[in-house]
Amino acid sequence: MKLALYRYELPFTHPLTFHGRVETVRQGLLVNLDGGWGEIAPLPGFSRETLAEAQEQALLCLKALARGETITATLPSVQFGLDCARRSWPTLKAPLPDPYPLIQGAPQDLLKNWKVVLHNAPTNKAKLKVARYPMRDELALIRLLLDRNPNLKLILDANQGWNREEAWTFCLHLDPARIEYLEDPCADFDDIRFVANRTGMPVALDELLAQGKPWEPIPQLRALVLKPTLLGSLCHCEALVAKARELHLKVIVSSCFESGLGLAQLAQLGAEWDPQQAPGLGTRRFLARDLMGKEGAPEMSQLDTVWQHG
């Protein structure tokens, strides 16, 4: 059995902030199991494990495999990467809808460049990060984008950035009919339910799922946003997919700034789990370069070998 673990580092096009942490590069691992690839890339500020911890556990698992033993990974990013490397990927019957663009940055800068922002939303859907800047500035940007494109619907992602009162105030200034859904406005599901019930704002759950917090269906719940890098094993992800189907909720597969390898695998999972929904994979444009070569495999010259066997 041929086994290998590689490390990569990709620069961002500009510094990005994740839960208060400023990052200039994306670092991660690629694992290869007898020719099958997977990506292990915990996201700083979101994943519970660090890259060093993920690398240590991945090495333990690979060395156990080399000895003919099995060690079950416990860290989500390691579970996901190993599962992808072991998976037999089916042939897709039809292409997935194009990913919608991710709008991220200071509202004042985006207000000046709104034509460029809208040009990147040809499907009349775009995702905007909120709860990061003064509320009045974010609301001004939303109003401008919606006014300039009457057919545009926005997905808003607050990353649990508000308390109940802040989220309620924000939603009162918006027309729920122009919002596809608001992801994780608060860190507690009771607060999300309170805001949704009183404003009619459609909502989706994302980080709350990865954190394993309790939730239940409410009339305003529209989608489950699945980030496998944070959720872990494909078995766990597929259980959430089954729950979403039972409740007639959309399943949106979303990225954590993975490389082209991880993004391609996430796109395929999205096509399998809910082929009618465009995935949330608009993070590719924030990476200054990619790892993938013309043959659809990682370019080895961009990888540093951590360990290999066989």
Q: For 45, which DSSP code?
A: T
CB 204 within 8 Å of CB 182:
yes
d(CA 297, CA 229): 20
Catalytic residue, candidates 63, 125, 129, 250: 129
H-state helical runs in the chain: 51-66, 76-86, 107-112, 114-119, 135-148, 164-172, 189-199, 207-210, 228-231, 234-246, 260-273
- Token code pair at residue 32: 């290869």
Residues 171/182, Cβ–Cβ less than 8 Å: yes
Q: Quick check: is 129 catalytic?
A: yes
User: In angstroms, what CA-CA distances link 303 with 42, 80, 213, 251, 300?
Assistant: 17, 20, 36, 33, 5
Catalytic residue list contains 2: no
Angle at alpha carbon of residue 12, lines to 7 and 13, rounded to 5°: 150
Spot the catalytic one: 112, 227, 250, 294: 227
What residues act catalytically?
129, 227
